[in-house]
Copies of this chain bind each other. A is one copy, B any other.
């Protein structure tokens, strides 16, 4: 009797969301797993990365990357194990990361995946500190923000996947780290466990007053993940020659009206300050450098990576919303197989 072939469950984009994605924007389908062509491998996806950028990929119109087409498997980073290989470059049993999509099995070309050494760190960390969020924090802060010892770095989304690393790297570089996060638990976490100098709870405190209290000399580097009124509050508090790093704008991704532009942008003029945006793929040719340094910090216990793992691929539509409600604690991932 032949073994029953497993089915590949996958979420496909059914319609472009207006505002927050709804269950009806997705279809959950099952199909036989794809077969690797010559030169490709088949990956059993174990963890799927849930990231704010996914919201942008669902919109029509080209941004830095093509939108996901209606009917296509939703684009997502993932990590898993090679279970079949038609390539001499990757063997069965190796762990890899890549744009595998929201599904349980994916074919990939070895040139398009990263290797994950699970003797260095558990697989979920390769979607976190040793993955896209880690490299986003590393290059955004160090290449654009360029904090120096004694400067004050403020980061929003400070308990999130990127923000928690930004503050820790800032501390490693001798800067002060002030985090803006929602709720007492997250604020306590970044100060008590991650070593931030101060936290501002934007849900309970006045952010401008918090910045005035914790940044008496002004903000030298502001790393923005949220946009909206918090970006404006930081702009109003810039120090001379401050650097604002535009990494994301999660407060605006589901906006039904136009994006809220930063009304305080003329603070750049007054302070000879700059505001620079980036996406991590801009640093594709320097990933090895960033990953090596981050792995060293993790191994030395100088950086802490936290993942918030939700069980089951069927949880995808609801889990994704936790990014926008701020319910996740650390890097949000789906665990979809072993």
Interface residues of A, Cβ cutoff 8 Å to B: 63-64, 227, 232, 246-249, 252, 258-279, 282
A235 to chain B, nearest CB (A): 9
Please name 15 further chain A to chain B contacts, defined as beta carbons within 8 Å, in addition to the given A63-B270, A232-B261, A261-B261, sorted by A numbering. Answer: A64-B270, A246-B265, A246-B266, A249-B266, A249-B269, A252-B266, A265-B265, A266-B277, A269-B277, A269-B278, A272-B277, A272-B282, A274-B275, A275-B275, A275-B276
Cross-chain contact B261 with A270 (CB below 8 angstroms): no
Given contacts A274-B276, A279-B270, A282-B272, contact A264 B263 (CB under 8 A): no
Given contacts A261-B232, A263-B258, A263-B259, contact A277 B268 (CB under 8 A): yes
Copies of this subunit: 2
Given contacts A274-B274, A275-B275, contact A248 B262 (CB under 8 A): no
Cross-chain contact B266 with A273 (CB below 8 angstroms): no
Cross-chain contact A276 with B273 (CB below 8 angstroms): yes
Q: Can you offer 22 A-B residue contacts whose CB atoms are under 8 A? A: A63-B270, A64-B269, A246-B265, A246-B268, A246-B269, A248-B269, A252-B266, A259-B263, A259-B265, A259-B266, A260-B261, A261-B262, A265-B265, A265-B275, A266-B277, A268-B275, A268-B276, A269-B279, A272-B276, A272-B279, A272-B282, A274-B275
Chain B: CB-nearest residue to A267 = B277
A152–B135 Cα distance when bound, in Å, is 32
Cross-chain contact B269 with A261 (CB below 8 angstroms): no
A278–B272 Cα distance when bound, in Å, is 4
List of B residues within 8 angstroms of A259 by Cβ: 263-266
Chain B: CB-nearest residue to A241 = B282
